[in-house]
Structure 1
Amino acid sequence: MAKFPTPDLKYTTDEQEIIQKLEAKYERKNRDVDNKHLMDVIKNIFHSCNLVKNGAPSPPENAENELIRDDIRYIINKLSWKITCNSACEMDVDETVHELLDFLSEFSWDATVVLILAVFAMNHGELLLLKQSTGENPIAKFLKKLKIPPPSLGSNEDLKLYVEEPLKNLVDQMLGVAEQLVQFKEQALTQKIELSSSVRKVFCIAAYRILQSVVKCISSTMEFVKSDDEYKDFPTKIQQIIRSCRFTAFGDCLKNSKFFELEYNGVVWTFKQANDVAKLLFNIFFAKSNPIRQFDGMIKKMKNVSLDDFQGNTVGIFITEFNVKEDDFSVLIDTYNPVKENGFEVLWIPVLDQSIGWKDELLDDLEKVARKMPWWSLTSPLSSNNPVWWYIKQDWQFERTPMLVVLDKYAKVIHTNALPMVNYWREEAFPFSMETETKLWRENSPTIIKIIEKIQPLPQIKQGEIICVYGSHDMSWVHDFLYFTNHLEMKDAEVKTITIYVGTNRRKQKSQKLETGNNIFWSEDMILRFWRDLENVAASKMIQSRENSVDAIKNEIETILSYDDKEEGWALMFNESSKFIFSGKQLKYCWENKKDWIEKVNKGEDIMNAITEYLQPLK
């Protein structure tokens, strides 16, 4: 079961208590209304009252189409009566809110929001009519004498602006949240997906706060019947409502979540239904705001992709962080060039590390990287508000290490991460499928010694010789280790050691070359290749041996990687018959207590066995 990102909203203690109570009491709220039509009517009323900041009113419906049913109109009017009566009786706002929630208990949260906004629109629209209903109608003229319209609807223009502006801000924020709730619900119904619990919490508290705000506004309006001076407190009350209700936080939360669960399922469905890799890539990755492009060395410009560029090819989706280093794809370039003619294409998908604040000027940096790649690239990175990003993270398990997901021409995933295999076997691994990797392991299993010999052939081991491949970031330990191997001081046994220093995997640690006798020290390039090969083989072996945790080659590689990370040094020592890996602590203990085991060697025992037996209790 996929775990989806939850809206990033920290609730106050008060909000947490409200959510807990409401979810427990109204868990089965599921009745819906015609949200779209009701919202159109609500927005048109607020537009007419000059309380909507953005957008134009919806076109009027055909009068013959009675889209709001009588039972819904009855509920809206009854809600209005309840609020008016309770306000007139000076009932506590929260008591009124809970009474209204009980009355609306059969409705979903989004329907509750739409209904209560309809009440607010109707209430404010009636006040507006008092100003407009004059002229020939004597009833309207006399009613206006009895009912005092708010000054914001009267002739005092300064007071009108003073009162209307904060009310306009409140209406704008409530409408924004309401429309997002409605969109969420509409998309959920279309895809027949239940909203996640985190999204339901936002629905719950947003509905409660909107209902609370409407009750407060209507109550405040009823208080101001004496004079214009009374209205000077009204804007302050509206500002207090806005601050306490945090509509912007709810709106941003819903906006940032981008219907993740719904859109994610759409991505999953697209992958499952796809049978053509070119169409899949266009459906998933191509967008007008983020096209797929490639640097053309002939014209020295970036050019846009066409469907034919991927049609019928095996495609590797190369996924990295936005600020990927050239070293991370140099081997892939060397492999891509010879196999491209065999029907292989690559698409680079940069993703945005959440610790990096994205700025538009970083696009230039991204294009510089794309120009170094001979394949296609997205022109801007995917970020965590994109459901495709979440699919890559959730289903392909992308963390921070570059990976290469390979699709065949029918858009089926044939390898979830072929990059380690490509980095080690290169074009020999084409078409980069799991079956190819299994075959390579079966026919040419890369042991540690083979990894070393791939970089530099080892000398033929003669009787009495030991080869020591060792590494460390601690040069004082290296000095001591070399002294130990070069001064074994055997009496009757002749032991010759050949040492090969392979540096450390700590990339920031620059290796130092020691000139000591015939000891071999690898160059920086050889050291870098060794550790990369070790990591690539370890990753490849991990994929191949997931069902079997007992694997000698995998364990050897993991041991070396672990020793390099946690120990001051390590050594792989082998002769014509034995091979052992020792940690820095074990070797230090060994040379500090040489007299305790050296006699066994002098008496004819194999030195590797003597050292191993001596260190066995320490292990």
Structure 2
Amino acid sequence: MLRFKMPWYVVQHFSPIVGIKFIKEEWNFKNKPILVVMNRQGKVEHPNALHMIRVWGMKAFPFTTTVEETLSNRVDGIGSVWFDIHPDVSNWIKQEKYIFFYGGKDNEWIQQFNKKAATLANDPVMKDKKISIELFCVGKGSKGEDDHNILGHFWNRIESFFFSKTHKNTKQDIVTQEIQKLLSYKTESGWVVLSKGSRLVVSGNGTTMLKVLEEFDKKKELVREVGFEICFKDHHEKIIETGHHCCRVDIPMNAGKVPEHIKCPECPRIMETYISYKCCHIDGPMNALH
């Protein structure tokens, strides 16, 4: 009954058939859904367009590698990650407001950052310079309750953006560097992204970004001279120069073609590779070894 409802061709054989080996080895199918795009002549136009569809939706039509490269190489392309994550965010982006996106596993840090960022947003100097700052805690609803749909949507898009950037090569352009940095924040206790509309201004882990806000009182007068954006970025760079923390990027091995080597998004070194095992106890005991 389910098969008859599907508007596409369904392979009905469950025993090994010709083509399975090809799909696994040539198309890197590893038990997670992939979407291979072919033209009318049967030529593969994209080995897995699922990631680009998750990030850009129908803007990526006709889902070819050429379109993907154009979209993923745009400097403001990272804004696609959060453009329609919430109606309020979409409106703020259209109004070209500054937006603090933040989150993490440490609720105490989240509360501290929220308090400091709200104080900055309402500061008389910011109001005087007509600098509008909004706050959006990823994974928390308007009343502070957990919103796993937004949280999952946010990280799925970042992960898909990463695969869109690295499935062909590991060239470390500015967009690749920033998307890897965002992906590394997934396991952090706290993290922050500051954007101006859809354009990413600066991002960082919770410790450094909170320190920027705590020390920003001394820099506020500079806002009148050089502007909020330059002042905030410069102070953040000075803080991270005093000490780096370990950077970690988790990539699921069954999500398709995974790059052999990844350059660190915060320094010129190649990242060390570790193997991690995870079980979420889904679909019964047989899934415990995936």
How far did 1:522 drift? 9.6
Q: Verify the 8 A CA contact 2:191 2:206 in the aligned structure 1.
A: yes
The residue number in structure 2 matching 1:174 is none
The residue number in structure 2 matching 1:540 is 164
The residue number in structure 1 matching 2:251 is none
**C-alpha distance in 1 between matches for 2:33 and 2:53:** 12
The residue number in structure 2 matching 1:584 is 206
Amino acid at match of 2:208: Q
Per-residue CA shift, 1:506-559, capped at 9, x if unaligned? xxxxxx43647xxxx996544443333333322222235x1x522212221221
Residue 601 in structure 1 maps to residue 220 in structure 2? yes
The residue number in structure 1 matching 2:241 is 616
Residue 480 in structure 1 maps to residue 108 in structure 2? no
How far did 1:407 drift? 2.7
Residue 458 in structure 1 maps to residue 92 in structure 2? yes
Structure 1 unaligned runs (5+)? 1-300, 302-367, 504-511
Residue 447 (structure 1) aligned to one of 70, 77, 81: 77
Q: Alignment partner of 1:614: what SS?
A: helix
How far did 1:572 drift? 0.5
Residue 549 (structure 1) aligned to one of 156, 168, 171: 171
How far did 1:413 drift? 2.2
The residue number in structure 2 matching 1:563 is 185
- Aligned pairs for 1:493-504 within 5 A: 493-494=125-126, 497-503=133-139
- Aligned pairs for 1:21-100 within 5 A: none
**C-alpha distance in 2 between matches for 1:467 and 1:539:** 26
Q: Verify the 8 A CA contact 1:590 1:615 in the aligned structure 2.
A: no
**C-alpha distance in 2 between matches for 1:599 and 1:413:** 57
Q: Verify the 8 A CA contact 2:78 2:200 in the aligned structure 1.
A: no
- Aligned pairs for 1:179-578 within 5 A: 301=1, 368=2, 370=3, 373-381=6-14, 388-441=19-72, 447-455=77-85, 456-458=90-92, 460-461=95-96, 466-488=98-120, 493-494=125-126, 497-503=133-139, 512-513=140-141, 515=143, 524-543=148-167, 546=169, 549-564=171-186, 566-575=187-196
Q: Verify the 8 A CA contact 1:470 1:502 in the aligned structure 2.
A: yes
Structure 2 CA distance for partners of 1:371 and 1:412, relative to 1, 3 Å: same
Per-residue CA shift, 1:269-304, capped at 9, x if unaligned? xxxxxxxxxxxxxxxxxxxxxxxxxxxxxxxx5xxx
Q: Verify the 8 A CA contact 1:468 1:573 in the aligned structure 2.
A: yes
Q: Alignment partner of 1:376: what SS?
A: coil
Identity %: 24
Q: Alignment partner of 1:404: what SS?
A: coil
Amino acid at match of 1:531: W
Q: Alignment partner of 2:105: what SS?
A: coil
Structure 2 CA distance for partners of 1:425 and 1:486, relative to 1, 3 Å: closer
Q: Alignment partner of 2:125: what SS?
A: coil
Q: Give runs of ≥4 in structure 1 deviating > 6 Å.
A: 489-492
Amino acid at match of 1:581: S
Q: Alignment partner of 2:37: what SS?
A: strand
**C-alpha distance in 1 between matches for 2:181 and 2:5:** 36
**C-alpha distance in 2 between matches for 1:451 and 1:491:** 29
Q: Alignment partner of 1:499: what SS?
A: strand
Amino acid at match of 2:160: N
The residue number in structure 2 matching 1:252 is none
Structure 2 CA distance for partners of 1:531 and 1:387, relative to 1, 3 Å: same
How far did 1:581 drift? 0.4
Higher RCO (CA < 8 A, seq sep 6+): 2
Structure 2 unaligned runs (5+)? 245-290
Give the length in aligned residue pairs.
228
Q: Verify the 8 A CA contact 1:573 1:580 in the aligned structure 2.
A: yes
TM-score normalised by L of structure 1 = 0.32
Per-residue CA shift, 1:129-174, capped at 9, x if unaligned? xxxxxxxxxxxxxxxxxxxxxxxxxxxxxxxxxxxxxxxxxxxxxx
How far did 1:575 drift? 5.0
Which protein is richer in helix relative to its size? 1
Q: Which has the larger radius of gyration?
A: 1
Amino acid at match of 1:542: T
Per-residue CA shift, 1:484-524, capped at 9, x if unaligned? 21235999833764111222xxxxxxxx43647xxxx9965
